Amino acid sequence: MQQPHQSGEPPWGPPPGPPRGSQQPTGSQQPQWGGQPVWGPPPGVPPAPQQSPWGTPPYNAYGGPLPYRQPLYVAPPKPGIIPLRPLMFGEILDGSFQTIRRNAKAMLGASLLAQSLAAVLTAVATALSANSTGSLETWLQGLRPQELAAVGLGFGGGILLFSVLTLFISAVLQGAMVVPVARSVLNRSTGFRQMWTLARSRAGALLRLAGLLFVAWLLAVLLFGALAALLISSVGRVGVLVLIPVGLACIALTIWIYIKVMVAPAAVVIEELGAMDGLRRSWELTRGNWWRVLGITLVVGIMVGVIAQVVMIPVSLLSTFFTGVISPHGGPDQALLAAVALGVATAVISALVGAVGYAFQTSVMALLYLDLRMRKDGLDIALLRLLESGADVDGVPGRGVAVYTAGRGYGQPPAYGAWPDGR
């Protein structure tokens, strides 16, 4: 006689064993009687490894392990002011502000030196003109035409000499300010003395670069002036109508060339190139990125201009406040004193605002150069290797990095150096 089955055991006997080569179900994988049993992964899915260096493998919907482990995203390192990868617009702006904040003595000191000559001469000229307006007009009225022409030529020559001197000083200081920006990428602070020590050997190349750009600009202006004089003398008023589109075309050409050579000072300092090589390098780096560089430059220029105008509004109201509120019934001496004080205050504040704007725009230019090299030369990988090795702590990051040449990989031109590990 058949024995009755035990409690909890199905009347048809125990369930069949799992297929050969599959895993025993545990926990939530226990089969429910009356439903579809789940003993392991379907055919074609490999079993879970016995031991995995990555820990417990993830499982799919059937309870089996995934055939491979999905790679996880790892953000690029950011040791300093920017992440070591091609940059976005906001990262360039943020990196420029952080550079000025971390290297205030070097950045603002060099900017003040670049703006100081213009500020001092502006303050002196304002004070002298306010103090001797009447006597100057009387003196000019007493001159003969030949003497008046000589005075005009002398005044114009002085302005030209002052402009050239300011241009060359600004070019050297702008190139030197690239050093703190490059060092801040690896979170290395830079003082004014160290900045000048690292950039001093490139001062001659920066002066030659400024000279080339000035000569090119002067030749373009002289050529346009000669063309304008020829058209007006030959066709009269019709020549003025012809000059309008020609002038617009010249302006567009000037902007195009300026963007193409904008990062030349950074290339001269960081890659230790000459003036002509720096221009060629800038021309090469901006190829394919001209519109992007133009957009960033325009936005930054508009931002700096608007902020400068907003800051200068209270200064322009000082004269009205002084004459209308403090001394409404003052005589000519008080009016003269107010004019001189207003001129000096305007020159000083303009120099301060101009220094901050100059430092910010120079930082943007340097970061654009580094971004272009990351996109074309793999500079981010070289900087990461330099960061891991800890070598050249007192140097300029980016020097001695090979240039990528399409179709030939990373070459080793003598002018550009080699990889940090010696390859």
What pLDDT, in 10s, does the model give residues 187-228? 999 999 999 999 999 999 999 999 999 999 999 999 988 888
Residue 397 CB neighbour total at 10 angstroms: 24
What DSSP state is assigned to residue 65?
B
Q: Is the pLDDT of residue 16 over 80?
A: no
Confirm if 184 and 103 have CB atoms less than 8 A apart.
yes
- Say what the pTM is: 0.74
Length of the chain: 423
Report residue 410: phi and psi, to 5°: -85, 110
Is residue 391 a contact partner of residue 401, using CB atoms and an 8 Å limit? no
Looking up tokens 């031991």, which residue turns up? 51
What's the pLDDT band for 125 if we cut at 50, 70, 90? low
pLDDT for res 234: 83
Q: Which residue has the higher pLDDT, 19 or 264?
A: 264
For the chain, which residues make up each domain, given as ranges?
89-200+291-385+400-410
The C-alpha atoms of residue 329 and residue 283 are separated, in whole angstroms, by 61
Calculate Rg over the CA atoms of the chain. Answer: 35
For the stretch 239-286, pLDDT in tens is 778 888 888 999 999 999 999 999 999 999 999 999 999 999 999 999
pLDDT tens for 393-407 read 888 988 877 655 444
CB half-sphere exposure, 374, CA atoms < 13 A: 21
